[in-house]
Amino acid sequence: MKLKFLLRTPLRNFHNSCGRSVSYISNIDENKNEIPSMQTHEHKLKMSGWQIHNYGDLDELLFSDRLKMPQIRQSNECLVKIQAASVNPIDVAMLGGYGATVLKVLRCQPSVIEFPITLGREFCGTLIQNGMSVNNFKLPIGQRVWGVVPVQNTQGAHAQYVCVPDYCVAMAPQTLSHTEAASVLYAGLTAWSGIYITAQLGGICGALTADGGGGAQKRVLVLGGSGAVGSLAIQILKAQACQVMSTCSENAIDMVKNLGADCVVDYRNPSYMATLRNYAPYDLVLDCSGQGSETAQSLDFAYGQYVTFSSPILRNIDSSGVGLGLLKNVANILEANVKSLTNRKGLIKYGFFIPAPQGIELLKQLVERKKLLPLIDSCYKFQELPEAFKRVKAGHLRGKVVVTLD
Protein backbone atom coordinates (compact mmCIF):
# COMPACT_ATOMS: atom_id res chain seq x y z
CA MET A 1 0.00 0.00 0.00
CA LYS A 2 2.89 2.25 0.98
CA LEU A 3 4.65 1.37 -2.26
CA LYS A 4 1.52 2.26 -4.20
CA PHE A 5 1.30 5.56 -2.40
CA LEU A 6 4.94 6.34 -3.23
CA LEU A 7 4.40 5.39 -6.83
CA ARG A 8 1.56 7.81 -7.12
CA THR A 9 3.14 10.83 -5.54
CA PRO A 10 3.30 12.68 -8.88
CA LEU A 11 -0.34 11.90 -9.37
CA ARG A 12 -3.46 13.07 -7.68
CA ASN A 13 -6.14 10.72 -6.42
CA PHE A 14 -9.85 11.35 -6.53
CA HIS A 15 -12.98 9.28 -6.26
CA ASN A 16 -15.11 8.64 -9.28
CA SER A 17 -18.87 8.51 -9.24
CA CYS A 18 -18.74 4.91 -7.93
CA GLY A 19 -16.65 5.99 -4.98
CA ARG A 20 -13.61 4.06 -6.23
CA SER A 21 -10.20 5.62 -6.09
CA VAL A 22 -8.35 6.34 -9.31
CA SER A 23 -5.25 8.30 -10.16
CA TYR A 24 -4.27 10.56 -13.03
CA ILE A 25 -1.28 12.58 -14.08
CA SER A 26 -1.26 15.98 -12.46
CA ASN A 27 -0.08 18.06 -15.42
CA ILE A 28 -2.99 16.84 -17.54
CA ASP A 29 -5.36 18.47 -15.08
CA GLU A 30 -3.56 21.76 -15.61
CA ASN A 31 -3.94 21.48 -19.35
CA LYS A 32 -7.56 22.44 -19.79
CA ASN A 33 -7.62 21.06 -23.34
CA GLU A 34 -6.86 17.55 -22.12
CA ILE A 35 -9.29 16.96 -19.27
CA PRO A 36 -11.19 20.06 -18.26
CA SER A 37 -11.99 20.46 -14.57
CA MET A 38 -11.93 16.74 -13.94
CA GLN A 39 -12.00 16.89 -10.16
CA THR A 40 -14.97 19.11 -9.59
CA HIS A 41 -17.25 18.50 -12.55
CA GLU A 42 -16.85 14.84 -13.39
CA HIS A 43 -20.46 14.50 -14.41
CA LYS A 44 -20.00 17.35 -16.88
CA LEU A 45 -16.99 15.88 -18.72
CA LYS A 46 -17.77 15.71 -22.39
CA MET A 47 -16.03 14.22 -25.40
CA SER A 48 -16.59 13.66 -29.10
CA GLY A 49 -17.57 10.27 -30.43
CA TRP A 50 -19.79 8.21 -32.69
CA GLN A 51 -22.74 6.32 -31.27
CA ILE A 52 -25.58 4.18 -32.51
CA HIS A 53 -29.04 4.28 -30.92
CA ASN A 54 -30.50 1.53 -33.13
CA TYR A 55 -29.16 -1.36 -35.18
CA GLY A 56 -29.25 -0.66 -38.91
CA ASP A 57 -27.11 0.84 -41.64
CA LEU A 58 -24.51 3.61 -41.86
CA ASP A 59 -27.06 6.35 -41.20
CA GLU A 60 -27.34 5.04 -37.63
CA LEU A 61 -23.81 6.31 -36.93
CA LEU A 62 -24.31 9.62 -35.12
CA PHE A 63 -21.55 12.06 -34.19
CA SER A 64 -21.74 14.11 -31.03
CA ASP A 65 -19.30 16.35 -29.19
CA ARG A 66 -21.46 16.17 -26.05
CA LEU A 67 -20.91 12.53 -25.09
CA LYS A 68 -20.26 11.60 -21.47
CA MET A 69 -16.63 10.67 -20.98
CA PRO A 70 -16.12 7.08 -19.83
CA GLN A 71 -15.03 6.69 -16.21
CA ILE A 72 -12.95 4.10 -14.46
CA ARG A 73 -15.35 1.86 -12.55
CA GLN A 74 -13.13 -1.13 -11.75
CA SER A 75 -9.73 -0.99 -10.08
CA ASN A 76 -8.09 -2.80 -13.04
CA GLU A 77 -9.29 -0.32 -15.67
CA CYS A 78 -7.33 2.21 -17.71
CA LEU A 79 -8.60 5.38 -19.38
CA VAL A 80 -7.00 6.13 -22.74
CA LYS A 81 -7.15 9.26 -24.90
CA ILE A 82 -7.37 7.90 -28.42
CA GLN A 83 -5.17 9.04 -31.31
CA ALA A 84 -6.20 6.45 -33.90
CA ALA A 85 -8.74 3.63 -34.08
CA SER A 86 -9.52 1.12 -36.79
CA VAL A 87 -12.75 -0.12 -38.34
CA ASN A 88 -13.11 -3.91 -38.58
CA PRO A 89 -15.72 -6.12 -40.29
CA ILE A 90 -17.06 -6.86 -36.77
CA ASP A 91 -17.97 -3.14 -36.39
CA VAL A 92 -19.99 -3.25 -39.61
CA ALA A 93 -21.64 -6.50 -38.48
CA MET A 94 -22.40 -5.13 -34.99
CA LEU A 95 -23.92 -2.01 -36.54
CA GLY A 96 -26.38 -4.38 -38.21
CA GLY A 97 -27.17 -6.08 -34.87
CA TYR A 98 -24.83 -9.07 -35.18
CA GLY A 99 -24.33 -10.84 -31.85
CA ALA A 100 -26.74 -8.58 -29.97
CA THR A 101 -28.36 -11.44 -28.01
CA VAL A 102 -25.09 -13.01 -26.85
CA LEU A 103 -23.50 -9.66 -26.07
CA LYS A 104 -26.42 -8.73 -23.82
CA VAL A 105 -25.92 -11.99 -21.92
CA LEU A 106 -22.15 -11.37 -21.68
CA ARG A 107 -22.90 -7.93 -20.27
CA CYS A 108 -25.13 -9.68 -17.69
CA GLN A 109 -27.96 -7.36 -18.75
CA PRO A 110 -30.27 -9.49 -20.94
CA SER A 111 -33.32 -7.33 -20.23
CA VAL A 112 -31.65 -3.91 -20.31
CA ILE A 113 -31.53 -1.78 -23.49
CA GLU A 114 -27.90 -1.69 -24.64
CA PHE A 115 -28.02 1.65 -26.49
CA PRO A 116 -26.27 3.93 -27.02
CA ILE A 117 -23.34 1.85 -28.27
CA THR A 118 -19.97 3.18 -29.38
CA LEU A 119 -18.33 0.76 -31.81
CA GLY A 120 -14.57 0.33 -32.36
CA ARG A 121 -12.50 -2.56 -31.09
CA GLU A 122 -8.89 -1.33 -31.26
CA PHE A 123 -6.92 1.85 -30.77
CA CYS A 124 -3.63 3.60 -30.18
CA GLY A 125 -3.56 6.46 -27.68
CA THR A 126 -2.19 7.97 -24.49
CA LEU A 127 -2.80 6.51 -21.05
CA ILE A 128 -4.60 9.14 -18.98
CA GLN A 129 -5.74 7.37 -15.81
CA ASN A 130 -5.18 4.04 -14.06
CA GLY A 131 -7.39 2.23 -11.57
CA MET A 132 -5.74 1.48 -8.22
CA SER A 133 -4.73 -2.10 -9.03
CA VAL A 134 -3.11 -1.30 -12.40
CA ASN A 135 0.65 -1.86 -12.43
CA ASN A 136 2.12 1.62 -12.98
CA PHE A 137 5.53 0.22 -13.92
CA LYS A 138 4.05 -1.75 -16.81
CA LEU A 139 1.56 0.95 -17.74
CA PRO A 140 2.91 4.38 -16.74
CA ILE A 141 0.47 7.24 -17.09
CA GLY A 142 1.28 9.47 -20.06
CA GLN A 143 2.59 6.50 -22.08
CA ARG A 144 1.60 5.80 -25.65
CA VAL A 145 -0.36 2.55 -25.60
CA TRP A 146 -2.11 0.24 -28.04
CA GLY A 147 -5.07 -1.83 -27.05
CA VAL A 148 -8.32 -3.60 -27.75
CA VAL A 149 -11.84 -3.25 -26.42
CA PRO A 150 -13.56 -6.50 -25.27
CA VAL A 151 -16.57 -7.22 -27.49
CA GLN A 152 -19.05 -7.00 -24.61
CA ASN A 153 -18.07 -3.36 -23.88
CA THR A 154 -20.74 -1.00 -25.18
CA GLN A 155 -18.30 1.94 -25.11
CA GLY A 156 -15.76 1.26 -27.87
CA ALA A 157 -12.86 3.09 -29.49
CA HIS A 158 -14.72 5.31 -31.98
CA ALA A 159 -14.57 8.16 -29.48
CA GLN A 160 -11.99 10.50 -27.95
CA TYR A 161 -11.61 8.37 -24.82
CA VAL A 162 -12.07 4.70 -23.96
CA CYS A 163 -11.94 2.77 -20.70
CA VAL A 164 -10.63 -0.82 -20.86
CA PRO A 165 -9.27 -3.49 -18.49
CA ASP A 166 -5.47 -3.42 -18.08
CA TYR A 167 -5.01 -6.82 -19.77
CA CYS A 168 -6.28 -5.22 -23.00
CA VAL A 169 -3.59 -2.49 -23.14
CA ALA A 170 0.19 -2.43 -23.42
CA MET A 171 2.91 0.05 -24.32
CA ALA A 172 2.79 0.55 -28.09
CA PRO A 173 5.81 -0.48 -30.20
CA GLN A 174 7.89 2.65 -30.81
CA THR A 175 8.55 1.69 -34.41
CA LEU A 176 4.89 2.09 -35.38
CA SER A 177 3.00 5.30 -36.09
CA HIS A 178 -0.35 5.86 -34.31
CA THR A 179 -2.16 4.72 -37.45
CA GLU A 180 -0.13 1.52 -37.75
CA ALA A 181 -0.35 0.76 -34.04
CA ALA A 182 -4.14 1.05 -34.20
CA SER A 183 -4.27 -1.55 -36.96
CA VAL A 184 -2.61 -4.64 -35.51
CA LEU A 185 -4.18 -5.98 -32.33
CA TYR A 186 -7.76 -6.97 -33.12
CA ALA A 187 -6.91 -9.00 -36.23
CA GLY A 188 -3.53 -10.00 -34.75
CA LEU A 189 -5.05 -11.43 -31.56
CA THR A 190 -7.66 -13.24 -33.66
CA ALA A 191 -4.93 -14.84 -35.78
CA TRP A 192 -2.81 -15.57 -32.67
CA SER A 193 -5.66 -17.25 -30.79
CA GLY A 194 -6.69 -19.31 -33.83
CA ILE A 195 -3.14 -20.54 -34.32
CA TYR A 196 -1.99 -21.03 -30.73
CA ILE A 197 -5.12 -21.42 -28.59
CA THR A 198 -7.63 -23.12 -30.88
CA ALA A 199 -5.23 -25.10 -33.09
CA GLN A 200 -2.51 -25.42 -30.39
CA LEU A 201 0.09 -25.25 -33.18
CA GLY A 202 2.95 -24.57 -30.77
CA GLY A 203 1.67 -26.94 -28.04
CA ILE A 204 0.83 -25.61 -24.58
CA CYS A 205 3.88 -23.28 -24.59
CA GLY A 206 2.81 -21.72 -27.88
CA ALA A 207 -0.23 -20.19 -26.21
CA LEU A 208 1.17 -19.52 -22.74
CA THR A 209 4.43 -17.81 -23.55
CA ALA A 210 5.06 -14.76 -25.62
CA ASP A 211 8.54 -15.94 -26.50
CA GLY A 212 8.15 -17.70 -29.74
CA GLY A 213 4.82 -19.31 -30.35
CA GLY A 214 6.38 -22.45 -31.81
CA GLY A 215 5.00 -24.72 -34.50
CA ALA A 216 8.15 -24.70 -36.65
CA GLN A 217 8.05 -26.75 -39.85
CA LYS A 218 4.25 -27.15 -39.76
CA ARG A 219 2.44 -26.68 -43.05
CA VAL A 220 -0.46 -24.24 -42.92
CA LEU A 221 -2.97 -23.11 -45.55
CA VAL A 222 -4.30 -19.59 -44.85
CA LEU A 223 -7.57 -18.98 -46.73
CA GLY A 224 -7.92 -15.21 -47.29
CA GLY A 225 -4.27 -14.18 -46.92
CA SER A 226 -4.91 -10.66 -48.22
CA GLY A 227 -7.34 -9.76 -45.42
CA ALA A 228 -6.59 -8.24 -42.03
CA VAL A 229 -6.54 -11.53 -40.10
CA GLY A 230 -4.99 -13.57 -42.93
CA SER A 231 -2.12 -11.14 -43.63
CA LEU A 232 -1.12 -11.10 -39.96
CA ALA A 233 -1.56 -14.90 -39.64
CA ILE A 234 0.87 -15.41 -42.53
CA GLN A 235 3.48 -13.17 -40.90
CA ILE A 236 3.08 -14.81 -37.47
CA LEU A 237 3.43 -18.27 -39.03
CA LYS A 238 6.44 -17.34 -41.17
CA ALA A 239 8.16 -15.83 -38.11
CA GLN A 240 7.86 -19.31 -36.52
CA ALA A 241 9.34 -20.99 -39.63
CA CYS A 242 6.10 -22.61 -40.77
CA GLN A 243 5.49 -23.41 -44.43
CA VAL A 244 2.57 -21.24 -45.54
CA MET A 245 0.26 -21.51 -48.57
CA SER A 246 -2.48 -18.97 -49.09
CA THR A 247 -5.44 -17.86 -51.21
CA CYS A 248 -6.66 -14.39 -52.23
CA SER A 249 -7.90 -12.47 -55.30
CA GLU A 250 -5.54 -12.28 -58.25
CA ASN A 251 -4.70 -8.60 -57.71
CA ALA A 252 -3.41 -9.32 -54.19
CA ILE A 253 -1.12 -12.24 -55.03
CA ASP A 254 2.09 -10.19 -55.12
CA MET A 255 1.22 -8.47 -51.86
CA VAL A 256 0.59 -11.81 -50.11
CA LYS A 257 3.83 -13.27 -51.52
CA ASN A 258 5.66 -10.24 -50.11
CA LEU A 259 4.28 -11.12 -46.68
CA GLY A 260 6.28 -14.34 -46.95
CA ALA A 261 3.73 -16.92 -48.16
CA ASP A 262 5.47 -19.76 -49.99
CA CYS A 263 2.66 -20.30 -52.50
CA VAL A 264 -0.34 -18.06 -53.21
CA VAL A 265 -3.28 -18.89 -55.49
CA ASP A 266 -6.34 -17.02 -56.74
CA TYR A 267 -9.40 -18.50 -55.01
CA ARG A 268 -11.56 -17.57 -58.01
CA ASN A 269 -9.63 -19.91 -60.33
CA PRO A 270 -10.52 -23.61 -59.75
CA SER A 271 -7.46 -24.93 -61.59
CA TYR A 272 -5.13 -22.84 -59.42
CA MET A 273 -7.03 -23.96 -56.32
CA ALA A 274 -6.45 -27.56 -57.40
CA THR A 275 -2.69 -27.04 -57.11
CA LEU A 276 -3.12 -26.71 -53.34
CA ARG A 277 -3.60 -30.49 -53.35
CA ASN A 278 0.10 -30.85 -54.25
CA TYR A 279 1.13 -29.54 -50.83
CA ALA A 280 -1.32 -31.62 -48.77
CA PRO A 281 -1.63 -32.85 -46.10
CA TYR A 282 -1.77 -29.60 -44.14
CA ASP A 283 -1.30 -29.53 -40.38
CA LEU A 284 -3.73 -26.65 -40.28
CA VAL A 285 -6.15 -24.86 -42.59
CA LEU A 286 -6.91 -21.40 -41.20
CA ASP A 287 -10.08 -19.91 -42.68
CA CYS A 288 -9.66 -16.12 -42.59
CA SER A 289 -11.90 -15.65 -45.62
CA GLY A 290 -15.32 -15.62 -43.95
CA GLN A 291 -16.28 -18.91 -45.63
CA GLY A 292 -17.05 -20.97 -42.52
CA SER A 293 -17.00 -24.70 -41.96
CA GLU A 294 -18.90 -25.52 -45.21
CA THR A 295 -15.76 -24.73 -47.20
CA ALA A 296 -13.95 -27.52 -45.35
CA GLN A 297 -16.20 -30.03 -47.17
CA SER A 298 -15.22 -28.66 -50.57
CA LEU A 299 -11.46 -29.05 -49.95
CA ASP A 300 -10.38 -32.28 -51.65
CA PHE A 301 -7.23 -32.83 -49.64
CA ALA A 302 -6.32 -33.90 -46.13
CA TYR A 303 -5.71 -31.58 -43.19
CA GLY A 304 -5.13 -32.12 -39.49
CA GLN A 305 -7.37 -29.27 -38.36
CA TYR A 306 -9.58 -26.68 -40.01
CA VAL A 307 -10.02 -23.55 -37.89
CA THR A 308 -12.55 -21.01 -39.09
CA PHE A 309 -13.09 -17.52 -37.66
CA SER A 310 -16.58 -17.49 -39.14
CA SER A 311 -18.60 -19.59 -36.72
CA PRO A 312 -22.40 -19.62 -36.83
CA ILE A 313 -22.56 -19.31 -33.01
CA LEU A 314 -23.70 -15.70 -32.65
CA ARG A 315 -25.97 -15.81 -35.72
CA ASN A 316 -27.74 -18.96 -34.45
CA ILE A 317 -28.37 -17.36 -31.07
CA ASP A 318 -29.49 -14.07 -32.68
CA SER A 319 -32.01 -15.91 -34.85
CA SER A 320 -33.19 -18.65 -32.47
CA GLY A 321 -32.58 -17.32 -28.97
CA VAL A 322 -30.07 -18.57 -26.42
CA GLY A 323 -31.50 -22.07 -25.74
CA LEU A 324 -32.35 -23.19 -29.28
CA GLY A 325 -29.36 -21.28 -30.67
CA LEU A 326 -26.96 -23.19 -28.41
CA LEU A 327 -28.52 -26.51 -29.50
CA LYS A 328 -28.14 -25.49 -33.15
CA ASN A 329 -24.49 -24.64 -32.48
CA VAL A 330 -23.78 -28.04 -30.98
CA ALA A 331 -25.58 -29.69 -33.93
CA ASN A 332 -23.61 -27.56 -36.46
CA ILE A 333 -20.19 -28.33 -35.05
CA LEU A 334 -21.01 -32.05 -34.63
CA GLU A 335 -22.34 -32.28 -38.18
CA ALA A 336 -19.28 -30.47 -39.62
CA ASN A 337 -16.91 -32.75 -37.71
CA VAL A 338 -18.75 -35.97 -38.59
CA LYS A 339 -18.62 -35.04 -42.30
CA SER A 340 -14.95 -34.06 -42.10
CA LEU A 341 -13.84 -37.10 -40.12
CA THR A 342 -15.78 -39.58 -42.27
CA ASN A 343 -13.98 -38.09 -45.30
CA ARG A 344 -10.71 -38.82 -43.49
CA LYS A 345 -10.01 -35.16 -42.94
CA GLY A 346 -9.27 -33.49 -39.62
CA LEU A 347 -11.12 -31.74 -36.81
CA ILE A 348 -13.13 -28.59 -37.50
CA LYS A 349 -12.92 -25.89 -34.84
CA TYR A 350 -14.04 -22.29 -34.38
CA GLY A 351 -11.48 -19.57 -33.68
CA PHE A 352 -12.16 -16.28 -31.90
CA PHE A 353 -10.56 -12.99 -31.02
CA ILE A 354 -9.12 -13.33 -27.51
CA PRO A 355 -7.67 -10.28 -25.72
CA ALA A 356 -4.71 -12.01 -24.05
CA PRO A 357 -1.55 -10.23 -22.79
CA GLN A 358 0.62 -13.13 -24.09
CA GLY A 359 -0.73 -12.55 -27.59
CA ILE A 360 -0.22 -8.77 -27.35
CA GLU A 361 3.38 -9.34 -26.21
CA LEU A 362 4.10 -11.80 -29.03
CA LEU A 363 2.74 -9.34 -31.59
CA LYS A 364 4.84 -6.54 -30.08
CA GLN A 365 7.99 -8.66 -30.27
CA LEU A 366 7.29 -9.53 -33.90
CA VAL A 367 6.74 -5.86 -34.76
CA GLU A 368 9.95 -4.82 -32.99
CA ARG A 369 11.94 -7.53 -34.82
CA LYS A 370 10.41 -6.33 -38.08
CA LYS A 371 8.82 -9.73 -38.62
CA LEU A 372 5.36 -8.21 -38.69
CA LEU A 373 4.50 -5.19 -40.80
CA PRO A 374 1.04 -3.63 -40.51
CA LEU A 375 -0.77 -2.99 -43.80
CA ILE A 376 -2.94 0.12 -44.10
CA ASP A 377 -5.62 0.14 -46.80
CA SER A 378 -6.88 3.66 -46.12
CA CYS A 379 -6.92 6.35 -43.49
CA TYR A 380 -9.83 8.70 -42.66
CA LYS A 381 -10.36 11.67 -40.39
CA PHE A 382 -12.49 11.00 -37.30
CA GLN A 383 -15.34 13.09 -38.74
CA GLU A 384 -15.34 10.80 -41.80
CA LEU A 385 -16.02 7.59 -39.85
CA PRO A 386 -19.09 6.59 -41.94
CA GLU A 387 -16.84 6.71 -45.06
CA ALA A 388 -14.44 4.34 -43.30
CA PHE A 389 -17.36 1.98 -42.54
CA LYS A 390 -18.37 2.17 -46.21
CA ARG A 391 -14.86 1.14 -47.26
CA VAL A 392 -14.87 -1.87 -44.91
CA LYS A 393 -18.36 -2.85 -46.06
CA ALA A 394 -17.18 -2.85 -49.69
CA GLY A 395 -14.64 -5.58 -48.83
CA HIS A 396 -11.46 -6.67 -50.63
CA LEU A 397 -9.37 -4.42 -48.42
CA ARG A 398 -5.63 -4.31 -48.85
CA GLY A 399 -4.82 -3.75 -45.21
CA LYS A 400 -6.67 -2.01 -42.40
CA VAL A 401 -9.00 0.98 -42.44
CA VAL A 402 -8.03 3.48 -39.74
CA VAL A 403 -9.52 6.75 -38.46
CA THR A 404 -7.28 9.35 -36.85
CA LEU A 405 -8.20 11.84 -34.13
CA ASP A 406 -6.55 15.21 -33.59
Ligand X SMILES: NC(=O)c1ccc[n+]([C@@H]2O[C@H](COP(=O)([O-])OP(=O)(O)OC[C@H]3O[C@@H](n4cnc5c(N)ncnc54)[C@H](OP(=O)(O)O)[C@@H]3O)[C@@H](O)[C@H]2O)c1
Q: Which stretch binds ligand X (CB under 6 A): 6-14, 112-120, 282-290, 334-342?
A: 282-290
Q: Given the complex with ligand X, which of 161 and 282 has the nearer CB atom?
A: 282
By the rule CB under 6 A, 129 interacts with ligand X: no
Kind and range of the H or E run holding 401: strand 400-404
Q: Given the complex with ligand X, which of 27 and 251 has the nearer CB atom?
A: 251
In angstroms, give the least distance from the CB of 307 to ligand X: 10
CB neighbour list of residue 5: distance below 8 Å, 6 or more residues apart = none
Q: Which residue is nearest to ligand X (CB)?
A: 227
DSSP codes joined into one string, 345-398: --EEEE------HHHHHHHHHHHHTTS----EEEEEEGGGHHHHHHHHHH---S
By the rule CB under 6 A, 260 interacts with ligand X: no
Q: How far apart are CA 152 and CA 164, in angstroms?
A: 11
Q: Given the complex with ligand X, which of 125 and 225 has the nearer CB atom?
A: 225
- State how beta strands 169-171 and 263-266 pair: unpaired
- State how beta strands 62-68 and 144-148 pair: unpaired
Among 125, 230, 325, 386, binds ligand X (CB under 6 A): 230
By the rule CB under 6 A, 187 interacts with ligand X: yes
Among 227, 312, 346, 355, binds ligand X (CB under 6 A): 227
Binding-site size for ligand X (CB under 6 A) equals 27
By the rule CB under 6 A, 249 interacts with ligand X: yes
Greatest CA separation for the chain: 69
In angstroms, give the least distance from the CB of 198 to ligand X: 10
Q: How far apart are CA 119 and CA 99, in angstroms?
A: 13
Give, as ranges, the residues between 285 and 344 that touch ligand X (CB under 6 A): 288-291, 309-310
Q: How far apart are CA 379 and CA 83, in angstroms?
A: 13
In angstroms, give the least distance from the CB of 374 to ligand X: 13
Among 183, 226, 316, 337, binds ligand X (CB under 6 A): 226
Draw the binding track, 141-180, toward ligand X (x: CB under 6 A; -: no contact): ----------------------------------------
Phi/psi of residue 356, nearest 5 degrees: -115, 135
Q: How far apart are CA 222 and CA 204, in angstroms?
A: 22
By the rule CB under 6 A, 352 interacts with ligand X: yes
Q: Where are the alpha helices (DSSP H) in 171-216?
A: 178-181, 185-192, 203-208
Binding residues (CB under 6 A) for ligand X: these are 88-90, 187, 190, 224-230, 248-249, 252, 267, 288-291, 309-310, 352-353, 395-397
